[in-house]
Amino acid sequence: MAATIKVVHRPELTFWEKLYIPQILCGLKITFRHFFRNLFLHIAHRVGRLTHLRASATIQYPEELRPLMSRHRSRHRLTVREDGSPRCVGCMLCETVCPAKCITIVPGEHPDPHVEKYPIRFDIDLGVCVYCGYCVEVCPEDAIRMDTGILNLAAYSREAMQLDIHELMDPELEKPIVDCSLKFPHQCKVSGEAMKGSWDGVEAS
């Protein structure tokens, strides 16, 4: 097989390009255009004019948030039923599919005979999570979603990155959780300062 030879012709520079000075002026023209356009627009924005034209691509982050795509995968949440109890039935599919092994579920028997199980514990270690979204896709009950829009996931300790079922069901909650209005088949107990994921009086099946 004959080798295909592709000849790349380097573009010859014209005299004016070799002289370089006209090219510098071309570059300066571009930067000056951006400079004066943006300067004019910034001043116009200050007096409330021409606000439909953007002067900068900057998004002032903490005050101004970038619009997220509807499919964007942000922090997880556990969806709830109408009575406020978790939709999760403890089937362990998400824990099984998770490639990062960041989900820990302890299922327990549900008082309602139509519902087989419910999660006593449902912990996600966000320090390990890779945000692949497999847990959302695999869930048969639409019990876990990644649509909270929470992006500022940062903490001073590894422990604080581990979310328990309270925080997953109510994205407003932050550690330490000392009070909980979520509905469970069991009672939430405060142990020490924080509310723990394992509860007295409930036996794992």
Partner 1 sequence: MMEFLLVKLVLVGIVLFGVLNFAGFHTWVERKQSALIQDRIGANRADIFGFRLLGLFHGIADAIKMFTKEDIVPEGANKTLHLLAPLFSVFFALVAFATIPFGPPLILAGHPPIELQVANIDAALLYVFAMLSLGVYGVILAGFASRNNYAIMGGLRATAQMISYEIALGIAVIGVIMVYGTMDLSLLVQRQGEMIGGWIPFWGIVVQPVAFVVFLTAALAETKRAPFDLPEAESEIIGYFVEYSGMKFGMFFLTDFLETIIVACLATTLFFGGWQVPWLMADGFHFPWPWGGVLPVANWVYVLLGVMSFSIKVVVFCFVFMQIRWTLPRFRYDQLMALGWKGLFPIAVVNVVVTAVVLVFFGEPSWPQQ
Nearer to partner 1, 46 or 71 (CB): 46
Task: Report whether the peptide linkage leading into residue 176 is cis, meaning its omega lies within 30 degrees of zero.
Answer: yes
Cβ proximity to partner 1, 34 vs 81, nearer residue: 34
> Does residue 39 touch partner 1 according to CB under 8 A?
yes
- How many residues lie near partner 1 (CB under 8 A)? 17
Q: Does residue number 30 form part of the binding site for partner 1 (CB under 8 A)?
A: yes
Between the alpha carbon of residue 196 and those of residues 25, 86, 103, 157, 176, the distances in Å are 67, 17, 16, 17, 9
> Is the Cβ of residue 4 or residue 58 nearer to partner 1 in the bound state?
58
Least separation in angstroms between residue 37's CB and partner 1 is 9
Footprint of partner 1 on 59-78 (CB under 8 A) = 60
How far apart, in whole angstroms, are the C-alpha atoms of residue 54 and residue 68? 19
> Are the CB atoms for 85 and 118 separated by under 8 Å?
yes
DSSP state of 84: S
Binds partner 1 by CB under 8 A, chosen from 58, 152, 157, 181: 58
> Strand pairing of 162-163 and 144-145?
unpaired
Half-sphere exposure of 84 (CA within 13 A, CB side): 9
H/E run at residue 37: helix 21-46
Q: Binding residue for partner 1 (CB under 8 A) from 38, 74, 79, 85?
A: 38
Q: Exposed/middle/buried for 203, CB within 10 Å: 0-12, 13-18, 19+?
A: exposed
47 in contact with partner 1 (CB under 8 A)? no
Residue 57 in the binding site for partner 1 (CB under 8 A): yes
Can residue 79 be called a binding residue for partner 1 (CB under 8 A)? no
Q: Residue 201 Cβ, how far from partner 1 at the closest point, in Å?
A: 51
Distance CA 119, CA 169 (A): 12
Q: Cβ of residue 24: shortest distance to partner 1, in angstroms? A: 7
Q: How far is the CB of 49 from partner 1 (least distance, A)?
A: 18
Give me the residues that bind partner 1 (CB under 8 A), please.
21, 24, 27-28, 30-32, 34-35, 38-39, 42, 55-58, 60
